[in-house]
């Protein structure tokens, strides 16, 4: 408790932290599942400081190591990292610190840790513990598999008496079992603190004009905020970033096809500057520690609920309101199914990936609470309503779509099951096109029988039928629709089918600020103090070459604005102000507070 307060500036532990820390300090192994932003890092950082020797942290990304080490050093913790970004001299200097016992924590990539030279180096010191971060990377069925993680069981063989802790934010039951098996953690204490991130608002919109929808979302709700926009392809990343930049936003692209120095520069800008939006493929984000990302948007469907939850979890790590927004349509499902079927992987792997995609599509189409659906996927039993997702805030209407589905099935069957959704819709609406005349489909009994719905409504019906596996899409060909064995019960009237009624998006006249944390300051004086604190933080961070949030989090500044400390003793009581930071920055920020009082 003393270290928690004096080093990290927190007055109390969060859920399960103390239990894990005590277990690890006593020498036990642990598998910890906590949501992103739930305080996983403290679970190994405090034991590493308490136990004799150096805590060795296996981390998959350079950016994560640098962020963690910068933050720890600001708090007075002796920390360093070893990775490919360093030259030989820097690496040698860190190794000297390690051998001399001058480090509490050392972050290292799995590739470096597994080299014979580094393993030999570890035998010459006393490892306080081994922490395996992002442990879901061990799962070959997971969304972020790293082959090197499979070899980390060597740590237990080489150092059987050194405690190990594996940590992750997203792992369903099968992934947890895989982590235990592959890392040899059968005797470990398993601690699941819950996956819920109640500060994140989940919203999924039907794709109509996705770019315009995205523009409206950012402009109305998150203007000036830092955010991440995920796209499936590099080409789409580039074009979306350019388009948003033309609209006046501070935007940078990020994908694996960019030169390494450009990726590093763009990531540094995102971390160190305020209000930057990154448009990226999934190559960006694992281990990103920036706490004040106010939104994560998806213009394309991720591959699984796990991937979606991992990516959306990069928003609102500071616990303040944030939004996870996604635009979703039939073409997303078709494209991802094509990717699965055309991959050269085993049939067993394809079955797993189909199952994961179906679970995500189910989340998109659900008419009940989205958070409940997500948490149930991870084995939790949450309440029926969360009050902070689109389906809870604005209930979804359903309608009896049995007859509409029968019309679609009949039309698909009578046209030979070789046409896509657009053509089927045209026939149902009775459109007089050259193609329909040429093929003679204007004479079909299904021609023009669907005029009670418009084009968007028929596309919604077809999308939901595909999502429920009542229609199959030929992913090997041109996306033609085909009946499934489940179709016939509905077609014959043996089963009723209720579909969701998609909402029509209307342009809002007033800007929405629900997810903006600065909106809590109603007094002009509070807002001026808030901006003054952030400006000084930005200047200090620029001088030191570190992200602003390693100086102080926004949540710390919010508390300063509310409590208005008048001396260092009162400043010491602010969450996030440890003894080292009080010594380095206390008088500086106290002066600003007093000036604005």
Burial of 516 (0-12, 13-18, 19+ CB in 10 A): middle
Q: In this predicted model, what pLDDT tens digit does every residue of 348-392 receive, in sequence order?
A: 888 888 888 999 999 999 999 999 999 998 888 888 899 999 999
Neighbour-count burial of 458, counting CB atoms closer than 10 A to its CB (0-12 exposed, 13-18 middle, 19+ buried): buried
Contact assessment for residue 397 and residue 500, using Cβ atoms and an 8 Å cutoff:
yes
Structural class in CATH, domain 521-595:
mainly alpha
pLDDT of residue 16: 87
Q: Which CATH number fits domain 200-393: 3.90.1150.10, 3.40.50.150, 3.40.30.10, 3.40.50.300?
A: 3.40.50.300
Confidence at residue 60, expressed as pLDDT on a 0 to 100 scale: 80
Of 311, 408, 302, nearest to 361 (Cα)? 302
Asked whether the domain spanning 521-595 has the same topology as the one spanning 399-500, the reply is no
Which tens digit of pLDDT belongs to each residue from 7-40?
988 888 887 899 999 999 999 999 999 887 778 8
| Tokens encoding 77 | 């913790």
Pair type for strands 200-206 and 322-328:
parallel
CA separation for the pair 352, 384 (Å, rounded)? 28
pLDDT tens track for 154-204: 998 999 999 999 998 877 788 888 899 999 999 999 998 878 899 999 999
Mean pLDDT of the 75-99 span: 91
Structure tokens at 304: 């699984």
User: Across 249-291, where does the E strand assignment appear?
Assistant: 251-254, 277-280
Rounded distance, CA 272 to CA 250, Å? 13
What predicted TM-score, i.e. pTM, was given to this entire model? 0.85
Structure tokens at 556: 């710390």
What is the per-residue pLDDT for 302?
92
Q: State how far the Cα of 573 lies from the Cα of 559, in Å rounded to an integer.
A: 10
399-500 belongs to CATH 1.10.10.10: yes
DSSP E strands in 437-587: the ranges are 471-473, 481-483, 498-500
Q: Which residues of 381-401 are buried (b: 16+ CB within 10 A; e: fewer)?
A: ebeeebebbbbbeeeeeeeeb
Q: Residue 165: which of 193, 145, 191, 204 has the closest Cα?
A: 191
C-alpha separations of 214 from 218, 305, 513, 573 in Å? 6, 21, 16, 41
Cβ-contact 139, 59 below 8 angstroms:
no
Domain map (residue ranges) of the chain: 2-192, 200-393, 399-500, 521-595
DSSP string covering 378-402: TT----S--SSBHHHHSPPPEEE-H
Question: Is 3.40.50.10480 the CATH classification of the domain at 2-192?
Answer: no
Residue 550 above 80 pLDDT?
yes
């Amino acid at each position: 408790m003393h270290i928690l307060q004096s080093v990290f500036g927190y007055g109390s532990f969060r859920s399960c932290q103390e239990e894990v820390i005590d277990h690890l300090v006593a020498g036990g192994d642990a598998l910890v599942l906590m949501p992103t932003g739930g305080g996983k890092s403290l679970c190994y950082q405090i034991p590493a400081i308490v136990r004799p020797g150096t805590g060795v942290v296996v981390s998959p990304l350079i950016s994560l190591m640098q962020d963690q080490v910068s933050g720890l050093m600001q708090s007075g913790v002796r920390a360093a990292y070893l990775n490919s970004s360093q030259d030989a001299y820097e690496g040698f200097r860190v190794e000297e610190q390690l051998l001399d016992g001058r480090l509490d924590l050392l972050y290292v990539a799995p590739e470096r840790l597994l080299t014979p030279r580094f393993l030999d180096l570890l035998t010459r010191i006393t490892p306080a513990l081994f922490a395996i971060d992002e442990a879901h990377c061990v799962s070959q069925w997971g969304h972020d598999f790293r082959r090197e993680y499979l070899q980390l069981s060597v740590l237990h063989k080489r150092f059987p008496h050194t405690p190990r802790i594996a940590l992750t934010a997203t792992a369903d039951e099968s992934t947890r079992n895989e982590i235990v098996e592959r890392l040899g953690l059968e005797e470990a204490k398993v601690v699941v603190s819950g996956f819920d991130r109640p500060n994140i608002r989940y919203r999924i919109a039907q794709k109509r004009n996705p770019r315009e929808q995205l523009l409206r979302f950012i402009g109305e709700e998150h203007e000036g905020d830092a955010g991440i926009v995920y796209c499936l392809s590099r080409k789409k990343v580039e074009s979306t970033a350019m388009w948003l930049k033309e609209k006046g936003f501070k935007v940078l692209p990020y994908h694996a096809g960019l030169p390494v120095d450009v990726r590093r520069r763009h990531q540094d800008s995102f971390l160190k500057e305020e209000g930057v939006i990154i448009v990226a493929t999934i190559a960006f984000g694992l281990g990103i520690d920036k706490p004040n990302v106010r939104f994560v948007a998806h213009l394309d469907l991720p591959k699984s609920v796990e991937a979606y939850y991992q990516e959306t979890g990069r928003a609102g790590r500071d616990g303040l309101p944030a939004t996870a927004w996604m635009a979703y349509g039939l073409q997303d499902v078709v494209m991802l199914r094509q990717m699965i079927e055309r991959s050269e992987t085993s049939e067993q792997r394809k079955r797993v990936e189909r199952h994961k995609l179906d679970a995500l599509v189910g989340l998109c189409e659900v008419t009940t609470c989205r958070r409940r659906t997500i948490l149930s996927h991870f084995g939790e039993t949450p309440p029926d309503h969360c009050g902070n997702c689109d389906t809870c805030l604005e209930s979804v209407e359903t309608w009896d779509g049995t007859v509409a589905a029968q019309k679609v099935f009949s039309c698909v069957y009578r046209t030979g099951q070789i046409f896509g959704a657009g053509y089927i819709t045209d026939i149902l609406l009775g459109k007089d096109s050259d193609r329909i005349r040429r093929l003679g489909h204007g004479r079909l009994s299904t021609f023009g029988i669907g005029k009670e719905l418009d084009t968007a409504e028929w596309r919604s019906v077809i999308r939901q039928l595909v999502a429920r596996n009542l229609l199959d899409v030929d992913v090997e060909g041109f996306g033609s629709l085909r009946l499934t064995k489940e179709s016939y019960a509905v077609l014959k009237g043996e089963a009723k089918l209720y579909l969701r009624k998609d909402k029509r998006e209307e342009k809002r006249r007033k800007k929405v600020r629900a997810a903006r944390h600065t909106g809590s300051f109603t007094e002009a004086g509070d807002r001026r103090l808030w901006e003054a604190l952030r400006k000084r933080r930005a200047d200090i961070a620029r001088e030191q070459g570190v992200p602003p949030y390693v100086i102080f989090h926004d949540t710390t500044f919010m508390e300063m604005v509310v409590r208005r400390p008048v001396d260092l003793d009162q400043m010491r009581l602010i969450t996030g102000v440890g003894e080292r930071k009080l010594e380095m920055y206390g008088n500086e920020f106290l002066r600003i507070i007093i000036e604005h009082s």
